[in-house]
Amino acid sequence: MVVGGNTNRLVRKQDLVHVAILLAVALGIGVYLIATAVLIAKDGVFYIERAQQFPSNPVGIIKTHPPGYPFLIFIAHQFVTFFSGSSWMYSWIYCAQSVTLLCRILSLIPLYFIGKILVGSRNSFWALLILTLLPYPTKFGSDALSDWPHIVFLVTGFWLLLLGAKFSKWWMFGCVGIIAGMGYLIRTECCQLVIYGGGWLLFNLIRPKNKMSRKSAVGALVLLLAGFAVIAVPYMRFVGYLFPEQRIGSVSIFANMGRSNIDAVNEAGVCFAGFAPLEVAEGIWKLLNNICETLMYYFIPALFIGVYHYFRKQTKSAENFFFVTAFVLLNIVVSLWLYYRTNFISKRHSLPLVVFTIFYVPIGLQILANWLRSKFFRVQPESKGNPQLCFFILLIIGVAICLPKLLRPMRIKKEGYRTASAWLKENAAKEDLIAVFDRRISFYAERKGLIYDKKVSKRAKYVVKIVKDEDKKPEFGRTVQERYSVRMNKREKKKRIVIYEVL
């Protein structure tokens, strides 16, 4: 008993050390990226503007977009202004970035314990250290984006699902429902937790032998659905859609039972058209390409080897296999549906897949390390010596590949945008309208901006345009005068950002 107690204390201490290291690394890199960022993402301007409008138009904000992330930015800004007593544009930007960074750091805690359940504490630590050093996921976590605020709810709910299923804690499913509802207000994709939990509980009702009794499974299912509904359903009814961000599934379908099924489905905005084989292939290729770029290509062989070894060679519990398989398959299907609907999949869309499969990368690296050791050092993996040397060599090479891109300031290629914004802020009057090709220019200038494609609005006082040195002077249908010019960046010597004043 004493030995067992000492072992448990050692394990808990080891977990605390692992988590503390991960949080410290994530915090240090995140603060560095925020401090050196040249520009935030375009979507970041969208979120900040909605956060700024929250006090004056909360109903309009809720109806046009999931309010969770803008609301978090608003709360963070209120907290900052309470102590500073002043509000300015950069305070909104830093609040948005800080909220995202905080969510990314907090997500590492449930992620570590998810990995501990799936692949053990050691592999979980190395997996999350790799994730913390990958450029794209890390920079998403220091930008004004909603991905990590969504993921922190997703991973927390997933962790509770694993614990509830593993230890037959039926009340945990109620907590999952509440967490899924809260995450749904940030990104509607968080409702997938209800699908996983409901599927597992229904599976427990069907199979003859299970850890959780049928009575407990029914109670857990009721709590899961109720916890989600108490938060998500009022929002659905208020907005009018099951998936408001995508405008899919009109809630009025429930009030049209007397109409034909076709009419009801059409009103719901749901399309059941089948995928063409070519579109499926293109979607899979784009998804794989995004994952490869996110993992810097270097970690891709280790990922596939680790996944194969885990699912084909290692013994695993039924709940682990069920939840991991369900997550991967559902997110692949959703990604393919997104590509079919919009012809576009970004690295942000594939980020959850990377986050939940990163745990298998250390397994693959260890297998590769053992193979390299046996081939090039002419020793068997079970022989004496330092069996981890090749593993650390492979890991260090991967970190060396990641660091140059990771430490490069975000959007440094667009440093001319900031310079042009600074000129407009100093020289344009508050009431002047600025015609811009990128809304971030007018946002950083703290002036009203009008986005243009080819035609420029007649109301614009200034026009901002990217020109090449060999191009002719652009014509706007009015008399303009070039007032300011700046290079796009130090490397781009052929393109300039020019500000024209409309006379």
Dig out the tokens for 148 from the structure.
């990590």
Q: Establish if 443 belongs to a structural domain.
A: yes
pLDDT tens digits for range 390-427: 899 999 999 999 999 999 999 999 999 999 999 999 99
Mean pLDDT of the 293-310 span: 95
Q: Establish if 470 belongs to a structural domain.
A: yes
Give, in order, the Cα–Cα distances in Å from 399 to each of 12, 69, 130, 135, 378.
28, 31, 8, 10, 27
- Contact criterion met (CB below 8 Å) for 239 and 63: yes
Residue 485 and residue 171: Cα distance in Å, rounded?
A: 63
Q: Establish if 474 belongs to a structural domain.
A: yes
Mean pLDDT of the 67-80 span: 94
Q: What pLDDT is stored for residue 269 in this prediction?
A: 44
Give, in order, the Cα–Cα distances in Å from 339 to each of 146, 274, 276, 344, 346.
20, 13, 12, 5, 10
- The total of structural domains in the chain comes to 1
Residue 254 has pLDDT above 60, yes or no: no
Residue 266 and residue 256: Cα distance in Å, rounded?
A: 11
Percentage of residues of the chain with pLDDT beyond 90: 61
Residue 151 and residue 149: Cα distance in Å, rounded?
A: 6
Residue 331 has pLDDT above 90, yes or no: yes
- Contact criterion met (CB below 8 Å) for 434 and 424: yes
pLDDT tens digits for range 175-208: 999 999 999 999 999 999 999 999 999 988 887 6
Residue 248 has pLDDT above 60, yes or no: yes
SS (H, E, C) 269-300: CCCCCCCCHHHHHHHHHHHHHHHHHHCCCCCH
Q: What pLDDT is stored for residue 260 in this prediction?
A: 43
Residue 44 has pLDDT above 90, yes or no: yes
Helices within 240-360 (DSSP H only):
261-268, 277-294, 300-312, 318-342, 351-357
Q: Which residue is associated with the tokens 């503007």?
A: 49
Residue 19 has pLDDT above 70, yes or no: yes
Q: Establish if 91 belongs to a structural domain.
A: no
Lowest-pLDDT range of 47-56, 162-171, 291-300, 492-501? 492-501
SS3 164: helix
Dig out the tokens for 166 from the structure.
């593993």
Give, in order, the Cα–Cα distances in Å from 309 to each of 154, 368, 383, 392.
26, 12, 22, 20
Mean pLDDT of the 352-380 span: 86
Residue 406 and residue 368: Cα distance in Å, rounded?
A: 25
Q: What pLDDT is stored for residue 180 in this prediction?
A: 96
- What is the band of 327 on the pLDDT scale with cuts at 50, 70, 90? very high
Q: Establish if 491 belongs to a structural domain.
A: yes
Residue 296: what are its φ and ψ, rounded to 5°?
Answer: 60, 25
Q: Establish if 430 belongs to a structural domain.
A: yes
Percentage of residues of the chain with pLDDT beyond 70: 87
Pairing between β-strand 433-436 and β-strand 462-468 as defined by DSSP bridges: parallel
Residue 13 has pLDDT above 90, yes or no: no
Q: Establish if 481 belongs to a structural domain.
A: yes
Residue 480, domain extent: 412-502
Helices within 37-67 (DSSP H only):
42-53, 58-64
Mean pLDDT of the 47-74 span: 90
Q: What pLDDT is stored for residue 216 in this prediction?
A: 87
Helices (H) and strands (E) in the chain, counts: 20, 7
Residue 469 and residue 471: Cα distance in Å, rounded?
A: 6
Mean pLDDT for the chain overall? 86
Q: What pLDDT is stored for residue 493 in this prediction?
A: 73
Mean pLDDT of the 75-83 span: 90
Give, in order, the Cα–Cα distances in Å from 460 to each of 286, 429, 434, 457, 480.
39, 12, 5, 6, 11
pLDDT tens digits for range 123-143: 999 999 999 999 999 999 999
Q: Establish if 467 belongs to a structural domain.
A: yes
- Contact criterion met (CB below 8 Å) for 211 and 168: yes
DSSP calls for 392-411: HHHHHHHHHHHHHHHHSPTT
Q: What pLDDT is stored for residue 255 in this prediction?
A: 43
Give, in order, the Cα–Cα distances in Å from 69 to each of 169, 258, 353, 458.
31, 38, 21, 35
Q: What pLDDT is stored for residue 259 in this prediction?
A: 41
Q: Which residue is associated with the tokens 């800004």?
A: 77
Q: What pLDDT is stored for residue 256 in this prediction?
A: 45
SS3 428: coil
pLDDT tens digits for range 432-467: 999 999 999 999 999 999 888 778 888 889 999 988
Mean pLDDT of the 330-347 span: 88
Q: What pLDDT is stored for residue 252 in this prediction?
A: 57
CA 195, 196, 199, 202 torsion-angle sign:
negative
Mean pLDDT of the 293-305 span: 96
Q: Which of 434, 351, 293, 416 is nearest to 39 (CA)?
A: 416
Beta bridge partners of 435: 450, 463
Residue 289 and residue 297: Cα distance in Å, rounded?
A: 9
Residue type present at position 185: L
The structure's pTM equals: 0.89
